[in-house]
Structure 1
């Protein structure tokens, strides 16, 4: 009987600092002590490279060596970082509460998104309790041209900014309804700008409809937060989605107020002058 090789966890990152953070992510998932050799087998990195990375993390207090000098565990600095993050991340908690309340009100999955390069990044998501649903977890990325939130972000840009971005990303067809030419997309963006909301009507995933609005920047600038409701087409149409629009807009304003309250006082004053 042959034993199968463990699956390699590739450390993503273009710089040493990014790869070091990726290694910390691998380590953060462990609930046991680990060795240099076990990480070599898990990541596929050369032993000298990993040894150097572990030395850096140990020196900084992120890791500590156990009594046998072979095994490592999470250091006090890393644990303190995790504790401080959970203790002080009240903005995320408040946003999540608004999102949960929206899901209770409309009965469908809802998410908070941001523009990241040429993609829409899911910052947070609350799933509906309904049996049929689409799973798009926080951290998921969706192309900007076939996302309801993405169209809103594009609509805020100047024509020159939008042209620069769209000329560099492929307008790939994910379904037969995806807008893949600039003229059609520009016409859709003009409608979005006029309406103040956007649809993704089976443009990214077959059977999925989405309606989104932006959380307004109360300082008067451009917003980089989208709030969206997603549902299967067998439960939602565009007409039904529009009935949810007032609830969606209330949630967007609540999240905007949370973000405004979290701004440093100096930034708020400077923006109002």
Structure 2
């Protein structure tokens, strides 16, 4: 789910199918919700039903109770809301979330979708793509302005992704919700595959992004623990 839209020519090249066969199968996958046409006409992205199937597979591979307990531990350590999400097209899908004792006021349950261009997990995962793929994906996705801090200019967004790539930490400085800051780190398996991001969110009045940096070690530990659950599940 961490890639730019796939073109019909790419599908034909990779699969070796004839053009009529590829068109027929792609249209079938669109009909059953496994593929969607990219809004910018650049190709195809994962459909809602395929994403839902992937989530169910992830849930089976990494027991939700174990994943949830790791997020609960992070929330207890930081005192803030924690969540785990993956990139799907131009959005982040929350696979799990633990609300702080003082909720943010806007609730996002597991399965909720948020925009990638202005959220900590979204920008973090975009930054891990090859630059041309990240740029293509940003061009194709809707880039609504949610607050006065939301960046919608492609050059500004790409500059921000380069900074995140250097630090390995995604940030959202009141870019999605006014008064709320967020910080994210990647979840990386032993074989080096990024399978999402872990983030903490808090009211800016209670925790600034500078103050959030103090929790990076705890977040990285939680991310490593979460990644290990997928390894455990696949070898059990």
Q: If the TM-score is normalised by the length of the shorter chain, which range does it land in?
A: 0.7 to 0.9
Query: What does residue range 13-162 of structure 1 map to in structure 2 within 5 Å?
Result: 15=31, 91-130=63-102, 133-162=105-134
Query: Equivalent residue of 1:262, what SS?
Result: helix
TM-score by length of 1: 0.63
Cα deviation, residue 91, structure 1: 2.1
Q: Residues 147 and 134 (structure 1 numbering): CA distance in 2 closer, same or farther, change over 3 Å?
A: same
Query: Equivalent residue of 1:170, what SS?
Result: coil
Q: Relative to structure 2, which stretch is displaced further, 254-263 or 127-136?
A: 127-136
Tell me what 2:173 maps to.
201
Tell me what 2:200 maps to.
229
Do structure 1's residue 179 and structure 2's residue 163 form an aligned pair? no
CA shift digits 1:220-248 (9 cap, x unpaired): 23x13110001111111012111111111
**CA-atom RMSD, angstroms?**
2.5
Cα deviation, residue 198, structure 1: 1.2
Query: Equivalent residue of 1:226, what SS?
Result: strand
Do structure 1's residue 249 and structure 2's residue 227 form an aligned pair? no
Tell me what 2:7 maps to.
none
Cα deviation, residue 218, structure 1: 1.4
Is the 8 Å Cα contact of residues 119 and 150 (structure 1) preserved in structure 2?
Answer: yes
Greater Rg over alpha carbons, structure: 1
Is the 8 Å Cα contact of residues 85 and 93 (structure 2) preserved in structure 1?
Answer: yes
Tell me what 1:259 maps to.
230
CA distance in structure 2 between the aligned counterparts of 1:255 and 1:191, rounded to whole angstroms:
25
Tell me what 1:44 maps to.
none
- Ranked by relative contact order (alpha carbons within 8 Å, sequence separation 6 or more), the top structure is 2
Is the 8 Å Cα contact of residues 187 and 198 (structure 2) preserved in structure 1?
Answer: yes
TM-score by length of 2: 0.72
| Structure 2 residues not aligned, in runs of 5+ | 1-29, 35-48, 50-56
CA distance in structure 2 between the aligned counterparts of 1:132 and 1:147, rounded to whole angstroms:
15
Is the 8 Å Cα contact of residues 90 and 141 (structure 2) preserved in structure 1?
Answer: yes
Is the 8 Å Cα contact of residues 181 and 203 (structure 2) preserved in structure 1?
Answer: yes
Counterpart of 1:218 (choices 167, 180, 190) is 190
Is the 8 Å Cα contact of residues 122 and 137 (structure 1) preserved in structure 2?
Answer: yes
CA distance in structure 2 between the aligned counterparts of 1:103 and 1:131, rounded to whole angstroms:
12
Q: Residues 17 and 186 (structure 1 numbering): CA distance in 2 closer, same or farther, change over 3 Å?
A: closer
